[in-house]
Amino acid sequence: MRIHSFFLHTTARCVIKDQAKPSRSNNDKYHQILNAAIKVFAEQGYHKATISQVAKAAGVADGTIYIYFKNKADILFNFFSYKTRRVFDRFKEEVETAEHAEDKLRNLIRRHLGEFQRDPNMAVVFQREALQARYIDEAYIKDITKMYLDIIEDILVQGQKEGSIRKDFQPGLVKRFILGAVNEVINTWVVTGIKYDLVAMADPLVDLYFKGIGIKPVQVR
C-alpha cells in the first residue's frame, strides 16, 4: 500500500534540491508552471502530456520550462515535493489543535480530504501517477507514506493510553487500515467525477474507525 505521508528523508531531499536553486521555489513563474503542468497532467494524463502543452497552459515559451525544470518528470516530482511539504505542515498543525486522540484523528482526516478537494487536479494526478508509483521515485512514495503513518501511529498510541482505542490491536495494522480507507475514499471521489463534498466523508470515516460496523451479540441469560 502506498500514499500520502512523508518527512525526514523526503524533506532532506527537497532541501538539497532547493539549495541547488535557492531562488526557484520563491519564483512566481516556477509556481505558474507547476500549477499549469498539474492541470495538463490531470486533463491529458502524464504520459500523453507534452512540454509544449504545459508551456501553453502556463503562458510561457517552451524553452522557459527548461530554465526551471530538467524535463516532464522533474516537473511532476517538484510539484509533489512542494505540495507534500506544505500539506504535511498543515496536517501537523490540525492534529496539534486537538487534545484527545479521536479529535486529533478527525482533524487529520478532515484536513487530508480537504487538501485534495481544494486541488482536484492534484488529487487526479496523485491517484493516477503517484499511488501507482508511475513516473515517481518509489522510494519517495515510501517516504511520504511512512510520514503519514507515523502521524497516525502517534494518535493511536495516545488513544490506547486514553482508553479510547483497544489495546489488543497492533498500531501497525490499524494505521494501515486507516490510511487505506482514506485513500479509497479519495480514489472513489476522483473516479466518479469529483461530484460531491469529499470532506463530508471525514466524520463517517472516523466514526467507523472508532465504532466499527458490528453489533455486539446480546447476552442470553
Identify the weakest region by mean pLDDT among 5-19, 151-165, 198-212: 5-19
pLDDT in tens, 52-67: 999 999 999 999 999 9
pLDDT above 60: residue 8? no
CATH at 148 = 1.10.357.10
Residues 137, 84 contacting (CB under 8 angstroms): no
Residue 204 lies in a domain: yes
Specify if 216 maps to a domain. Answer: no
Output the pLDDT for position 171. Answer: 83
Look at residue 220 and tell me if it is in a domain.
Answer: no
**What is the number of structural domains in the chain?**
1
Q: How many CB atoms lie within 10 A of CB 105?
A: 26
Q: Which band of pLDDT confidence, cut at 50, 70 and 90, is reported for residue 129?
A: confident
Domain around 68: 8-211
Give me Rg for the CA atoms of the chain: 19
